[in-house]
Each structure stands twice: as C-alpha cells, then as structure tokens.
Structure 1
Amino acid sequence: MSITDNWQTLVKEQQYNDLLMEWNAKINLVSRQKKNVLDLIEDSKLFLQGIDFTPGINILDLGTGGGIPGIILAVHHPEANFTLVDSIQKKINVVADIAKRMELTNVITVCGRAEELAGKGILEKQSFDYVVSRSVAVLQDLCAWSKDLIKPGGKLVTLKGGDIHGEIDKTRRLPYVKNIHRKDFGERILLTVDFV
C-alpha cells in the first residue's frame, strides 16, 4: 500500500468517524463517547488479520449495527464486496447513508434477522467467502446462522472478549466446523472458524 493509499484510508476512517458521530447524536448506534468510536474503528482493523483478501471476495457483516466492522473493512479493501446486515431497519438506513456519503460502491445493506437470511431467501445460500461479526451472539449461534450462507470451506471471523473457552469447546463439536484459530490482542480475541 502506497503513502497516498494510506492517507486516503485515514481520511476515509475520519470521515466514517464523523458520520457515525453525526448519526449517533440522533440514533443510538454506539456508545456516545468519542473514544469509544475510535476504539471500534481500531477493533475493526483487527479483522483484517483474519481474512485473506482477494479481488471479488464476498464478505457478510452479520449484526453490523453502525457499520462495525464492515465499513472499515470496505475502506481498507475496495476490491472486496461487502453485505452489511442488521435486524433493525433504522440502523440499516444509517449504514446505507454512511456508505453512500463515503462513496463506498463495494457495500450493500440488508435488513433481516441472522437466523432467517438464508431460510427465507433474503440472501442467496452459500454465497459468502467470509462472515464477520463483532460479538453479537455466542460462537455456536454465530456458526449456526452462518453455515447456510457461507461457501464450502468459508470462514467466520469474530471478535470476542472474556473467557470463551466454553464457547470454543462447544463450537468445535459442530459437524460443519473444521477448525478454530485464535489470536489474542490484549482483552480482544480474534477467532477464525473454518467451515467444512
């Protein structure tokens, strides 16, 4: 990545921060502390270490809320395609507005419940290389919601905190889970779940 690309990425991150704060004053998307938003942006960058980005890759952000981590990942990888999903329509409206104002042509938004996306035909089955999620549920539920949406051999990448040994042990027993990789970043733990 060149210095110009790095600069443009930083400008886009600041733009996202400003737009999120603007919207957050109207709709509670994230904690209203500015430091918290900057922490969320930094947390989103941790996902970059769990994804092998290739041109045209399809990534689903499950439970995107205010666009975390999907918007930041889309800024860093314009060659990838992102579908940002949340069950709350007003949050999806905000994320769609932010993506439009940031001119992120690699982002689409969908309103729907995670457990219904494939079953009700909201999203095409087995159409995503990766599912990313910022700790919206226990790991086994995230895997269950992702299994019909993810391509064979695809991966779920999630950021967790606290003691997650029990979640990992239960998830390893799922028939569609091949392996689980863990990277620790202080209080944050990046988990990558390989699907069969």
Structure 2
Amino acid sequence: MTNPLYQYFSILTDAQKEKFDQLKSLYDDWNSKINVISRKDMDAFYEHHVLHSLAIAKFISFSPRSQIVDIGTGGGFPGIPLSIMFPDCKFVLVDSIGKKIKVVNEVIKSIGLINAVGLQSRSEQHSGKYDFIVSRAVTTLPDFVKLTKHLISPNQKNAISNGILYLKGGEILSEVKPFGKRASVINLNQYFQEPFFETKKLVHLSL
C-alpha cells in the first residue's frame, strides 16, 4: 500500500517518514487488543486518520515552540500525526478514557516521539495555556468552545490567531454562525483529492 501522505507532503525527513510508516502496524496491533479505531476504518488508515489529521498542517505551519493541545484525542488523532509533522512544537493529547491514553502513550514511545504526551483528563478539568486546541469533532462547536476556551494563551506567535482548529464533517454552518467573522471554514477537498474529503471541513475559530 503506497502511503498517500507522500503525494501531498513531499518535504519530509527520513525520520518523519519512518515514524509515519510505523503507525499502521502499531495501530493494527493495538486495535486487536483495545478497539481504538473502528475496524472498517483500518483499511483506509492513512487516508481516514493520518491524512485527515494533517489537513491542519496544510492550513498552518505551526511556529517552533508552539504549544498545542488535542482534546478528545481518542487513539491519538490529530495529535500524533501533527507531532511527527512539527517536531519543534509541544503537543499534549487529552482524553477522558484511560485505555485510549494508554494506547496513545505506547504509540508515542514506540515511534520515539519526544514532543508529545498523552494525558487522561476531562477537557474542563485540564489546565494549561496553549496556542491552539486541535480536535476531530467530539461535540458541536459551541459546546466544545465552552469546555475548552480556558486553555487558550493570550500570547500570539503564529501567522493565524490563537484558537481552535476543528476537523468536522458535513453541515457546519449553523455551528459556526454564532461566532461570526471569528470562524473560518475550509473545505478539505481543496487540499486532498480523495472522495473521503468531499464533505470534510476544517474550522479555525479565533479566540
């Protein structure tokens, strides 16, 4: 299986490629013990999980030393692919489910990621200040903002304003409407040509 990543991200180091290439077999192994990714999705693992996560890297190249928190990371998405892509940034991957965080930390250890850590916590109980919150839609955007906005740092170091980068499928307009001009919606099919991305979107909400 050729990795669809390399079609879209040509400037990767050998170390990055090695980490990306290890992911599929690691998740196959963990998924056989703890169901972290739906079985049918494993057939399209790189497209549905890794490439989807990296849509954020098409939208923004994080400045070195940026601090990013992945809320509701599940099995480690989008946090793990982004940690590989941006080795000079710090990532904290948060989920309330302990067995998922166990998998996240084992994968991090197996591929030798030194800029990421998994943490078991509820988002509203987590403290810390971050440049960005990333997530693959865990709830509606207004609810997500209520639970997480306390985590955003006021100090600006990136080309876009600090806030939430939210990966979401389908109809999103009613969810972003309350935020007016602070919300930008990007269609992922402008980055990736696979049919899977036709209905997928990225929301940047400036906080």
Return the alpha-carbon distance in structure 2 between the equivalents of residues 141 and 43 of structure 1: 22
Return the alpha-carbon distance in structure 2 between the equivalents of residues 189 and 90 of structure 1: 28
Which stretches in structure 1 are left out of the alignment for 5+ residues?
A: 118-122
Q: CA, structure 1 residues 134+6, in 2 after alignment: closer, same or farther (shift >3 Å)?
A: same
Return the alpha-carbon distance in structure 1 between the equivalents of residues 28 and 71 of structure 2: 21
Paired residues for 1:34-183 under 5 Å: 34-38=42-46, 39-117=48-126, 123-124=127-128, 127-152=129-154, 154-170=162-178, 172=179, 179-183=182-186
Q: How many residues align?
A: 182
Structure with the bigger percentage of helix: 2
Return the alpha-carbon distance in structure 2 between the equivalents of residues 156 and 5 of structure 1: 26
Instruction: Name the residue aligned to 2:187.
Output: 184
Offset from partner CA, 1:15-66 (integer Å, 9 cap, x none):
1121111101111111113323222111011011333411111000001111
Structure with the bigger percentage of strand: 1
> Secondary structure of the equivalent of 2:163?
strand
Q: Which runs of 4 or more aligned residues in structure 1 lie more than 6 Å from their structure 2 counterparts after TM superposition?
A: none
RMSD: 1.9
* Identical columns (%): 34
Once the two structures are TM-superposed, the CA of residue 10 in structure 1 deviates from its matched residue by 2.6
> Secondary structure of the equivalent of 1:148?
helix
Once the two structures are TM-superposed, the CA of residue 155 in structure 1 deviates from its matched residue by 1.3
Amino acid at match of 2:130: F
Superposition TM-score, scaled by structure 1 size: 0.86
Amino acid at match of 2:150: D
Which stretches in structure 2 are left out of the alignment for 5+ residues?
A: 1-8, 155-160, 189-197
